Homo-oligomer: A and B are copies of this chain.
């Protein structure tokens, strides 16, 4: 079989796999922000009609999958595989969604890089013929993340400006070989990068070197340059981490220019308090699976790279003095 790996760690797809449809749903704060007109559903509150935030996050992933499946004119039993990840312990949003939808589950974990990790793996399975149609999804929820990683929101702890705001919502995409949606062209798999940073209130700085490592690997593996893309977005580096990534790339000889942006800065308006910007699995998932895919379909973007970044720590490892290992997975999408 043909070698589909180029360079050190880039998958080269043959162009058959497309994003047939995508959908994204968000909480009330997300609904008041920059994605207001492009989200498929906005919930009036963070409970989404459920009796716990965890169940609300699950409901959001279920709904994102439902919207995506419907937009692809499919039913759940016509989807062969479900690849999903989230931030909650033991990936419960993904697992409980799989229980509801009864689509065979391949659970993945990449923290906030889950969106592109699942998109990559789904595209591999479709291209290679192991399934005809896959749905990939990622979710996060501000209140479940705060409860799990930091303090209960009721505690009302103050945060520094380097902190980020975990995005509430879920994004999903249907992958297959039909239709006219964006084609999956390349995926560059991340190595774990750890610069020794330990501050959970500044994840952007910790994740920036991982994004840089993957972006540089992508350029080296493919021979492409920044100007070969209409837009390159990182997942959730926000206003502290993204300039660090720009600077590190410049030091390595890559002038990223104006078309290098961050999903965490494409969700909330400046008037909305989000500290340094959005974060969480839903950051890249909401922006990619609503605004960016829409822009590709409108003809405003032809070549897009999404570099989803993840911080791979947990509260116990933090308490034990461990630094924060990070990873970034990149996927490129192209319109004909």
Question: Which residues of A are at the interface with B, using a C-beta cutoff of 8 A?
Answer: 1-5, 8-9, 11, 16, 52, 54-55, 80-81, 85, 87-92, 94-96, 98-99, 102-111, 117, 120-121, 124-125, 127-132, 147-148, 189-192, 194, 312-317, 320, 322, 325, 327
Do the beta carbons of B314 and A192 come within 8 Å of each other? no
Query: In the docked arrangement, what's the CA distance between A87 and B107, Å?
Result: 13
Query: In the docked arrangement, what's the CA distance between A109 and B314, Å?
Result: 15
Contact partners of A129 in chain B: CB under 8 A: 1-5
Contact partners of A2 in chain B: CB under 8 A: 129
A-B contact pairs, 26 of them (CB 8 A): A1-B16, A1-B128, A2-B129, A3-B132, A5-B80, A5-B129, A5-B131, A5-B132, A89-B90, A89-B315, A90-B314, A91-B312, A95-B192, A95-B327, A98-B192, A98-B327, A102-B192, A103-B191, A104-B190, A105-B110, A106-B117, A106-B189, A107-B108, A107-B110, A107-B117, A127-B128
Starting from the known contacts A95-B327, A96-B322, 16 additional A-B residue pairs (CB-CB under 8 Å) come to: A1-B16, A5-B132, A8-B104, A9-B104, A87-B90, A89-B89, A89-B316, A90-B313, A90-B314, A91-B109, A92-B313, A95-B312, A104-B190, A106-B110, A107-B109, A124-B130
Query: In the docked arrangement, what's the CA distance between A117 and B109, Å?
Result: 12
Do the beta carbons of A192 and B99 come within 8 Å of each other? yes
| Least CB distance, A201 to chain B, in whole angstroms | 17
Chain B: CB-nearest residue to A120: B106
Chain B: CB-nearest residue to A193: B99
Query: In the docked arrangement, what's the CA distance between A312 and B94, Å?
Result: 10
Contact partners of A4 in chain B: CB under 8 A: 128-130
Query: With A89-B314, A129-B5, A130-B11 known to touch, is A105 a contact of B55 (CB < 8 Å)?
Result: no
| Least CB distance, A5 to chain B, in whole angstroms | 5
Chain B: CB-nearest residue to A84: B109
Chain B: CB-nearest residue to A98: B192
Contact partners of A89 in chain B: CB under 8 A: 89-90, 314-316
Contact partners of A313 in chain B: CB under 8 A: 90, 92
| Least CB distance, A235 to chain B, in whole angstroms | 15
Query: In the docked arrangement, what's the CA distance between A294 and B120, Å?
Result: 34
Query: In the docked arrangement, what's the CA distance between A312 and B131, Å?
Result: 24
Chain B: CB-nearest residue to A317: B92
Complex partner residue of A124 from B128, B132, B191, CB under 8 angstroms: B128
Complex partner residue of A105 from B90, B130, B189, CB under 8 angstroms: B189
Chain B: CB-nearest residue to A316: B54
Query: With A95-B192, A108-B108 known to touch, is A127 a contact of B90 (CB < 8 Å)?
Result: no
Chain B: CB-nearest residue to A114: B107
Do the beta carbons of A320 and B54 come within 8 Å of each other? yes
Query: In the docked arrangement, what's the CA distance between A120 and B192, Å?
Result: 22
Contact partners of A102 in chain B: CB under 8 A: 191-192
Do the beta carbons of B109 and A90 come within 8 Å of each other? yes
Do the beta carbons of A189 and B81 come within 8 Å of each other? yes
Contact partners of A125 in chain B: CB under 8 A: 124
Query: In the docked arrangement, what's the CA distance between A133 and B317, Å?
Result: 30
Contact partners of A121 in chain B: CB under 8 A: 106, 121
Contact partners of A55 in chain B: CB under 8 A: 320
